[in-house]
Amino acid sequence: MAKANLNYLKLPGSYLFSRIAQKVSEFAESHPDKKIIRLGIGDVTQPLTPVVIDALHNAVDEMAEKATFKGYAPDLGYEFLRKSISDWDYKRRGCLIEPDEIFISDGAKSDCGNIQEIFSTDNVIAVCDPVYPVYVDSNVMAGRTGDYDESKDGYNGVIYMPCTAENGFAPELPEKVPDLIYLCFPNNPTGEVMKKDRLQEWVDYANRNGSIILYDSAYEAFISEEDVPHSIYECDGARDCAIEFRSFSKTAGFTGLRLGYTVIPKNLKADGVELWPLWARRHGTKYNGAPYIVQRAGEAVYTEEGQKQVKDQIAYYMKNAKYIYDGLKDAGYEVSGGVNAPYIWLRTPDNMTSWEFFDYLLTKANVVGTPGSGFGPHGEHYFRLTAFGTLEDTIEAINRIRNI
Ligand code: PLP
């Protein structure tokens, strides 16, 4: 008899954003006259930049001609894109990452979720708490995290590394050494970062203990401060202990186009076994490549004009971030993030739970945010707002929040 993967039943409730969507749609149905402003899900609102649109048009034209038509993409991704990434994202920052250490994919979510497949199921994982839910959920599905423990609001087999106001939302090195360490900086949801000297301590710790760091820097393009690393490979020794994930989603507005990449240095080993060939094997077996036209669009981002245009777009969102941060702070909220990331993390007033505050904002200000508890136990009593709305909506939302 067929048996289902019972690990899926260990996932509590529905995925965070489905629950939010359900609550919002119920509210919208019963209050059709209200204009709801969504600063919850981290999705972009600005259209693709002109260089990207031109590249897409050109690539579509190529697909229409027999001489230039493209079928399946190479397993790792097209050389033209991997070379641009290696030059612009790494070599120009002093990091020696070669094109064939870069694997192109349809986004960082797939890669962050799938990477656990190349590690043994008995590895112990550590995650920032709060953090992007995909890391824990994908490990639960693979049976790596033990049972859900209601009393801890977390899984038995996971080391949760609290990110709190006291430690500047950057975790301490765990006493019990994990095998796999997920780090996400700039962090979703707190919007906070880890300075270079702090990240170097993590790299040294991982190298000392034989751990692998899975570093998600999907938001590196939003970094505005000098001493904040854009890549973990800016730290000495990171090539010996780290895998990095990047995304075009927030950097260049590709959430609907889909493009991302993963870096696995050729020399990286887990207990003596090289990881690059394992990921190449997995990629080749289960993935048939990001579309040619999308890879051409990605390449267009790595030109002088492309960089200027995406930076302008990021500046637009970061203006929203500043408006939210300043507006809420001025209204007496305890806020963080918003300087090196498009997320503002606020403490709920009057000790409300995250979901109580969600309902309160939805009903009183018709503004949607994301309850912090959905990102991990230490997210309770916090709330995330995103800077990805339009400027007009952002101003209106903050004014409404200030008025309740
Ligand atoms: N990593 C983090 C931390 C994110 O917040 C997100 C998206 O919200 C992703 C990865 C997913 O990115 P992509 O759109 O490339 O799948």
What is the DSSP code string of 137-196?
Answer: HHHHHTT-S--EETTTTEETTEEEEE--TTTTT-PPPPSSPPSEEEEESS-TTT-----H
CA 108 – ligand 1 centroid, Å: 5
Binning the chain into helix, strand and coil, the percentages to the nearest 5 are 45, 15, 40
Distance 216 CA to ligand 1 centre (A): 8
Q: Is residue 365 part of a domain?
A: yes
Are 37 and 112 in the same domain?
no
Residues 158 and 274 in one domain: yes
Q: State whether 42 and 57 are in the same domain.
A: no
Other beta carbons within 10 Å of 121: 10
* Contact of 17 with 41, CB cutoff 8 Å: yes
Residue 189: asked if its preceding bond is cis (omega within 30°), the reply is yes
CA–CA gap between residue 89 and residue 302 (Å, rounded): 9
Q: Which two tokens stand for residue 135?
A: 């890391």
One domain, residues 248 and 351: no
229 Cα: distance to centroid of ligand 1 (angstroms): 18
Interhelix angle for 391-403 vs 304-330, to 10°? Answer: 10
User: Do 111 and 141 belong together in one domain?
Assistant: yes
**Domain extent at residue 351:** 13-47+305-403
- How far, in Å, from the CA of 183 to the mean position of ligand 1? 13
Q: Decide if 8 is inside a domain.
A: no
338 CB under 6 A from ligand 1?
no
Distance of alpha carbon 283 from alpha carbon 75, whole angstroms: 7
Does 84 lie in the same domain as 229? yes
Tell me if 370 sits within 8 A of 363, measured CB to CB. Answer: no
Residue 176 structure tokens: 């019990």
Any atom of ligand 1 within 6 Å of the Cβ of 128: no
Q: CA 246: distance to chain centroid?
A: 8
Nearest atom of ligand 1 to the alpha carbon of 260:
15
Residue 59 is inside which H or E element, if any? helix 50-63
Do 144 and 157 meet the contact criterion of CB atoms below 8 Å apart? yes
Looking at the structure, do residues 310 and 293 belong to the same domain, yes or no? no
How far, CA to CA in Å, does 331 sit from each of 53, 86, 327?
Answer: 41, 44, 6
Query: What is the number of the ligand 1 atom nearest to the C-alpha of 107?
Result: 15
User: Do 166 and 74 belong together in one domain?
Assistant: yes
What pLDDT is attached to residue 42? 82
Which of 85, 105, 106, 109 for mutating ligand 1's site (highest number of atoms within 8 Å of CB)? 109
Instruction: Write down the pLDDT at residue 12.
Output: 75
Same domain for 58 and 43: no
Whether 251 is in a domain gets the answer yes
How far is it, in rounded angstroms, from Cα 379 to Cα 372?
4
Residue 257 Cβ < 6 Å to ligand 1: no
Q: Is the CB of 260 under 6 A from ligand 1?
A: yes
In a domain? residue 1: no
Q: How far is the CA of 332 from the centre of ligand 1 (A)?
A: 31
DSSP state of 28: H
Radius of gyration of the chain (CA): 21
Alpha carbon distance 66, 19 (integer Å): 47
- Do 36 and 76 fall into the same domain? no
Residue 121 maps to a domain: yes
Is 320 close to ligand 1, i.e. is its CB under 6 Å away?
no
CATH of residue 319: 3.90.1150.10
Domain final residue, candidates 303, 330, 361: 303
Q: In tens digits, what is the pLDDT along the chain, a chain of 404 residues?
A: 999 999 999 987 666 788 899 999 999 999 999 999 999 888 999 999 999 999 999 999 999 999 999 999 998 999 999 999 999 999 999 999 999 999 999 999 999 999 999 999 999 999 999 999 999 999 999 999 888 888 877 888 899 999 999 999 999 999 999 999 999 999 999 999 999 999 999 999 999 999 999 999 999 999 999 999 999 999 999 999 999 999 999 999 999 999 999 999 999 999 999 999 999 999 999 999 999 999 999 999 999 999 999 999 999 999 999 999 999 999 999 999 999 999 999 999 999 999 999 999 999 999 999 999 999 999 999 999 999 999 999 999 999 999 98
The response to whether residue 341 sits with its C-beta less than 6 Å from ligand 1 reads no
- The CB of 251 under 6 Å from ligand 1? The reply is no
Residue ending a domain, choose from 284, 303, 322: 303
Tokens, residue 286 = 């289960």
In a shared domain, residues 256 and 156: yes
CA distance 343 to 250: 12
User: Backbone dihedral region of 269: left (phi > 0), alpha (psi from -120 to 50 degrees) or beta?
Assistant: beta
What local confidence, expressed as pLDDT, does residue 146 receive? Answer: 83
Q: Check which CATH number belongs to the domain holding 86 and give it.
A: 3.40.640.10
> In total, how many domains does the chain have?
2
Q: Does 7 reside within a domain?
A: no
- Per the listing, tokens 């790299």 go with 203
Last residue of a domain, which of 244, 271, 303? Answer: 303
CA dist., res. 249 & res. 85, Å (int): 15
264 CB near ligand 1 (under 6 Å): no
Q: DSSP 3-state assignment of 346?
A: strand
- Specify the residue with its C-alpha closest to ligand 1, atom 2: 218
Tell me whether residue 185 is in a domain: yes
Domain annotation covers residue 5:
no
How far is 117 from 48, CA to CA, in rounded Å? 33
User: Are residues 365 and 216 part of one domain?
Assistant: no
First to last CA, the chain: 57
The pTM is what? 0.96
What separation in Å is there between the alpha carbon of 66 and the centre of ligand 1? 36
Protein residue closest via CA to atom 15 of ligand 1: 107
- In the block, residue with structure tokens 């981290």: 42
Tell me, what's the pLDDT at 149? Answer: 84
State the amino acid at position 148 in one-letter form. Answer: Y
Instruction: Return the residue matching tokens 């800016």.
Output: 234
Q: Are 313 and 108 in contact (CB under 8 A)?
A: no
Residue pointed to by tokens 């899984």: 155
pLDDT value, residue 156: 87
